[in-house]
Structure 1
Amino acid sequence: MVTKTILALLIPILVGQASGNLNIYPAPEGIHASDKFQVYLSQGGQPQSSFTYITTSDKRAKETPTAKAKRGRSVSWTSFSFSGGAVTVEIHTPQDFHNCIVRPQHYGYKCQRTGNKTAYVTVSSTSRMMSVEFDYDYGSSSEDIKDKMLIFADPPESNVPNEHDSSVLFYKAGVQKLNGQVHLNNSIKTIYLAPAAWVEGGFLTTANHGVTFRGRGILSARSYKWKDDQFTTTATLDVDKGGNHVIEGIVIVDPHHFFFRGRSSCNIIRNVKMIAPWAHNSDGVVLGRYGLVEDTFIWANDDSLKVYADNLVVRRCVVWQAQNGAVFQFGWSAKRYVQNVRISDVDVIHTDWCTFKKSKCHLSTNNAVLDLGGREVTSFKVNDIVISNIRIESSCPRLVYFKMDPASTGSVTNMHFNNWFVESQTAHEILHNEIQGAFNASLSDWTFTNLKIAGECISSPCQADFRLGHHTENINFRCD
């Protein structure tokens, strides 16, 4: 039985019960609130303060001179859950502004200035992961948004575990410091991060059974050094061992290297938020066979989603691609054997590859929405990949870079790209969309159906600056 004391820690403030339940998470003792933004929430009642977190880039910039972390950046964020009627989000900004925008624009949410340094956004659904941006800090093709503001509207939490259960690691509200990466033994089945829990460290599965990581708290590695040797693996949260793991609801912030690895089978990531990847090599998600990623926010400074295993499903995700890496990555290993992948309804709200490069933007082989990074992959068996309903906001320098090493063998066939909507594609003399096979590796039967750039449907490669190299066959562009 959960005690009244524990319930008091877990039950957030309830506001506006006439129109629904708005759950405002408690303020965590020991964590400083953002000095950039303040957020107030209401649902048919008086606005209540929602604790707004902040973390900055300066520590990683000092630690990673070769990984190109930039000083003077911050991200602020707040989370809440609700049911019933819409929630009004009031944001107080450090500077006044004329215009503001909510991304993904696909949500249809409007940001309105309602007074000096004050904006309103009405949020009508849960599982919404939003960037709210102001015209004094919109960024540009050669400048990033210096102070980011993120809003996460969670679905209501259910089935909070018993903290006295010996199979549960239960982290209450407040700061909890781990000794680097905790190795989970055979007895641990659940890791629970309560609302306002700030857990400093990481986790690694070591047993064969499934482990559930859940809650509304925060897993942070910001107090550890970049690539800290207190972590056994590259990922702050690593579930390579075992299978049938579930990661739900938490925020992962300031990774020590990668955010998440789960190369074991049948793992689920749901309603997870990954933020503050200041340095290059801050990869997002890699899953094993039969993996599922849904309703998740990934802001990565390397590959966001690695398409490495059969029967992968990704849906209803939001991606902020920072200066390094690809959104959908097929490269970086000797073999790529993948089939039956379904990716749909992904909003790419920023592609920041040209940020900090001034007017002469040059991209590595690792920078594209769809990418085959590096030349390590030389053996292919890729078939039946469907990537649909992809919405790419702002100006995107490159959509596709998939060039095989000349020594490659195998095949990449039956690739289907349906209903991609690109707000605009940057024109560069040296940047192009490129697809190329190899003498002993067929690259064939790719279809782009309803690829639209700046509202124009693309019916031929040259319309969208696609360069089809040697050893490609049956690459089609169709408008239905």
Structure 2
Amino acid sequence: MRTLSYACLWLSALIAPFMATATGNLVTYPAGNTSELLPASDYYEVEVRQGEVSRSLIVYMSRSNGGATNNRNRPVANDSISWANFSMGAPVEVTVTLRTNLPGDTSGPVTVLPTRKHVSVQRRSEREISFTLFEPGQYSVEMGAQGYKNGLLLFADPLEQDVPEPTAAGVYSCAPCTLEGLNGISKDYHTVRFEPVAHHIGNWYPKGHVKNIYLAGGAVVHGAIHFNDAANNGSRVYGRGHLDGRMFGEGSERSTKFHMVEASGDTRDITVEGIIISQPSAFAVRLLGKNNDIHWVKTPGGWRFNNDGLVGYENTRISNSFVWANDDAIKLYRDHQQIDNLVIWHLTNGGSFQWAWTTIDTQDVEVRNVDILHGEWPHDGRNQGVFNLRGSALRGQVKVQKDYLFENIVIENPIKVFVNLQPNDVPHIIKNVTFRNIEFKAGKDVVNRIVGFSEEAKITDILFDNVRMNGECLTAETARTLANFEFRHTERIEFRCPQGVRKVSGYGYDNLIELHNNSTRVHIAPDFGAKLVSYALNNVELLQQEPGEYGWQLQPEKLASGEQAPPFNGGGRFDVGDTRNHPDRARLIYGAWQPQILGDRHVRLVSSYDPQRGLRLTREYQLDEQGSGLTIRFSMRNESAAEQTAHFWSRPLAQGGGIFVKALKKGHLFDGGVVVRDHAGNISTLPRDPNILRSDDYLVVKGQPPFFKFGFDSLAPEHYYWTPNGLMFSGSYPVFADGNYVMPAEGRYSLYYNTNFKGRSVAELEPLSPAYTLAPAESAEFFERWELQSLPFPGTAESLSLNEILTQMGLVSQEKNT
């Protein structure tokens, strides 16, 4: 035992210079393990920074070795891909520098995909860009239209939680490991730790007592790992290192193709987690037994046919992974597979989701939240497309695949083949499949087919729910005329588009979002701060509109210099405070937001990142199926590297001159529950005025008092406004008794009532949230509920008593009033 102790001390001293470098929430990995098999990138340098700490990353590169395997591979024969990895627990600023010019056309903007991550890029020079990543994930940096042909991938992993110590009991640590040494491991060891150096092991078949195989960050293991029988049940391959397959050769010879992490059908409960499987020789992961887990795995640089991605059979869960594939990325061959949160880059061969190569019985498969960055199929083919079923061999009697769900999938770039389900060689039945919230881009020559084998073996009960091509939701008609869908031997193929939501032109914009039902219309302007430009019941408008600003769009530089005048900003505006410390919020209030239709009468909009405020905002509008009910959900995310404090602040402008009512419930922010502020900024308690009526439960403003601004310290969430054109608005919002409300004259709710504001009569109805102090990457949420009803405005409003107003508005009963 003493000898083992000395050996461990010696090993620790040997590998110490190669260990990962960690500072707080950032971990980077040692360089020095590149070689001819896995070289450093010719094109990119990458630096990551948190606070005052910055580090350079090792950037690896793979050049295509697949051009000779098939003519279909010619489009990628001269490509390369570079990548770097690190782990993060807080936002990281990334700087990418080109070492030399990229081949091809790299003109145009620099993008970081997936777009749903909303990464904003700043170009520091012709060769240098920077951006901030706010959460772990897999990202593609693409410089110009053809930059992806020699692209850069960034693998930002979460911080590791379970790292075996190299000197711990039962841990076999080697630097380097050899196949002879691994095959000779005694039963005293349950864990093998590959230290951060280069290892050449070829094909290794671990013995059953080795349950944990850890690849430390920076380790490059040249070889493959195979689990052959039940003795390997429960094995785990994990870490932040590389398992690389280039040593096995190239070309189309099957003798050079080995699956990188493989488990036979007799082996179950295998976990593969966190590692990079680079330049795979054949499949990256192939687990043919049950109950497997594949998470945070990345597979860059597989150029050959048969470079399938992540394969796990019955009851397998795959999540948070990046799949680069030149054959089937994910095979959906067995029951109860759950696939979630993937990023896929597909080359020229295979399907992103392959359903069946031979006939099989399968049910209960769910695929959600997938970004397909590229699908480089050059033309039509039997086993190509995002969704593919080859069905070329019969195993026994006719088989059935059923109960599949594909949801929230985005294909970022134009593709040639989308849906390609055609088991035309064998009788095979497919039924009960839903495609929901899927977006793809394609040209006029796109291929789509759903073709059953025969009238006895059909494809039936397929629902396309909010599937969009080039932004347009496909209907039964446009699926044929625009997307070229071919249907044969099918029944009950339905295309459904969200009801009550569409893009329209109006108010000077070509891309308004309209939500509507049989009585209510809502118009949202993505190009103007995602504000409401209309909220109308039976064509009667609530909001104060401003025709002079229709079509207005922010030009940040001109606004800052004074060349562009700030708009009046009518309608349903929404803000963030507080304005005392952060007066410049133009990008958030006036700037363009990105819309996404989510479902019936439901849209989400996302702002750009505002470096002045350190925030990105998200807003959702959802209109009820019947009636005027509108739910508005707000969220803010701190995407800066520093702590930020902010609150939500609604500021819709209703048509002025109406009757305002606020429900009262005593708070503790200021005495009396209500304060007023004059134009000089002086704050005072509520004075007596004939246009202000008050009881214990309500305050009413029915005409212009000698001041304009009210602040309410009320714990009641309700507020109401009766417009001169005959609408009664009802609103509610969360109120927090112990919330940190920071606006001294506004409290928990504010009203701006002015019948002569810049020549307009307005009432600004202003619910406020507490202030939220957000650490980097933290978020906060808030919501409001709005409703309208028709209510003729009284001609004698100025003479009505408090109880008469409350009774006519339905806030108190006649009996109670009496």
Structure 1 length-normalised TM: 0.88
Question: Which residue of the other structure, out of 16, 21, 24, is the alignment partner of 1:13?
Answer: 21
Question: Which residue of the other structure, out of 40, 47, 60, is the alignment partner of 2:47?
Answer: 40
Moved more, 91-100 or 303-312: 91-100
Aligned partners of 1:331 and 1:373 also within 8 Å: yes
Which amino acid counterpart does residue 402 of structure 1 have in structure 2?
L
Q: How much has 1:234 moved relative to structure 2?
A: 4.3
The structure that is helix-richer by fraction is: 2
Which amino acid counterpart does residue 90 of structure 1 have in structure 2?
T
Matched, 1:197 2:219: yes
Instruction: Tell me which residue corresponds to 2:152.
Output: 149
In structure 1, distance between residues paired with 2:77 and 2:437: 38
Q: Deviations over 1:272-322 (max 9, x none)?
A: 001111122211122111001100000100110111000000000000110
Distance 1:150 1:418, change over 3 A: same
In structure 1, distance between residues paired with 2:306 and 2:255: 18
Matched, 1:339 2:369: no
Matched, 1:161 2:177: no
Which amino acid counterpart does residue 222 of structure 2 have in structure 1?
E
What is the DSSP-based 3-state SS (H/G/I as helix, E as strand, rest coil) of the residue aligned with 2:342?
Answer: strand
Aligned partners of 1:67 and 1:281 also within 8 Å: no
Map residues 327-476 of structure 1 onto 2, 5 A cutoff. 327-333=352-358, 335-354=359-378, 362-377=379-394, 379-405=398-424, 407-409=426-428, 411-422=429-440, 424-428=441-445, 431-437=446-452, 438-460=454-476, 461-476=479-494
Aligned partners of 2:49 and 2:94 also within 8 Å: yes
Instruction: Tell me which residue corresponds to 2:263.
Output: 239
Which amino acid counterpart does residue 156 of structure 1 have in structure 2?
L
Moved more, 66-75 or 285-294: 66-75
Matched, 1:113 2:123: yes
Q: How much has 1:442 moved relative to structure 2?
A: 2.7
Distance 1:263 1:187, change over 3 A: same
What is the DSSP-based 3-state SS (H/G/I as helix, E as strand, rest coil) of the residue aligned with 2:116?
Answer: helix
What is the DSSP-based 3-state SS (H/G/I as helix, E as strand, rest coil) of the residue aligned with 1:28?
Answer: coil
Question: Which residue of the other structure, out of 340, 359, 384, is the alignment partner of 1:315?
Answer: 340
Distance 1:262 1:457, change over 3 A: same
In structure 1, distance between residues paired with 2:72 and 2:200: 26
In structure 1, distance between residues paired with 2:372 and 2:20: 32
Q: Deviations over 1:445-467 (max 9, x none)?
A: 10000011222111223254343
Matched, 1:302 2:332: no
Matched, 1:78 2:84: yes
Q: Deviations over 1:428-451 (max 9, x none)?
A: 1xx531111222213111000001
Q: Deviations over 1:166-185 (max 9, x none)?
A: 1122111111001x211122
Which amino acid counterpart does residue 131 of structure 1 have in structure 2?
S
Matched, 1:133 2:139: no
Moved more, 100-109 or 222-231: 222-231
Instruction: Tell me which residue corresponds to 1:171.
Output: 194
Aligned partners of 1:67 and 1:279 also within 8 Å: no
Which amino acid counterpart does residue 26 of structure 2 have in structure 1?
L
Which amino acid counterpart does residue 363 of structure 1 have in structure 2?
D
In structure 2, distance between residues paired with 1:443 and 1:230: 38
Aligned partners of 2:372 and 2:412 also within 8 Å: yes
Aligned partners of 1:402 and 1:436 also within 8 Å: yes
Map residues 194-233 of structure 1 onto 2, 5 A cutoff. 194-208=216-230, 209-226=233-250
Q: Deviations over 1:320-363 (max 9, x none)?
A: 11011111111312x22110011000001101012xxxxxxx31
Instruction: Tell me which residue corresponds to 1:141.
Output: none
Unpaired runs of 5+ residues, structure 1, are 139-144, 355-361
Distance 1:66 1:183, change over 3 A: farther
Q: How much has 1:91 moved relative to structure 2?
A: 0.4
Instruction: Tell me which residue corresponds to 1:357.
Output: none
Matched, 1:57 2:64: yes
Unpaired runs of 5+ residues, structure 2, are 172-188, 499-818
Higher RCO (C-alpha under 8 Å, 6+ residues apart): 1
Q: How much has 1:381 moved relative to structure 2?
A: 1.1
Instruction: Tell me which residue corresponds to 2:97.
Output: 92
What is the DSSP-based 3-state SS (H/G/I as helix, E as strand, rest coil) of the residue aligned with 1:27?
Answer: coil
Q: How much has 1:56 moved relative to structure 2?
A: 1.6
In structure 2, distance between residues paired with 1:203 and 1:109: 36
In structure 1, distance between residues paired with 2:18 and 2:272: 19
Distance 1:369 1:30, change over 3 A: closer
Aligned partners of 1:324 and 1:367 also within 8 Å: yes
Aligned partners of 2:72 and 2:349 also within 8 Å: no
Which amino acid counterpart does residue 362 of structure 2 have in structure 1?
V
Instruction: Tell me which residue corresponds to 1:142.
Output: none
In structure 2, distance between residues paired with 1:242 and 1:327: 26
Q: How much has 1:65 moved relative to structure 2?
A: 6.2
Instruction: Tell me which residue corresponds to 1:22.
Output: 26
Aligned partners of 1:286 and 1:308 also within 8 Å: no
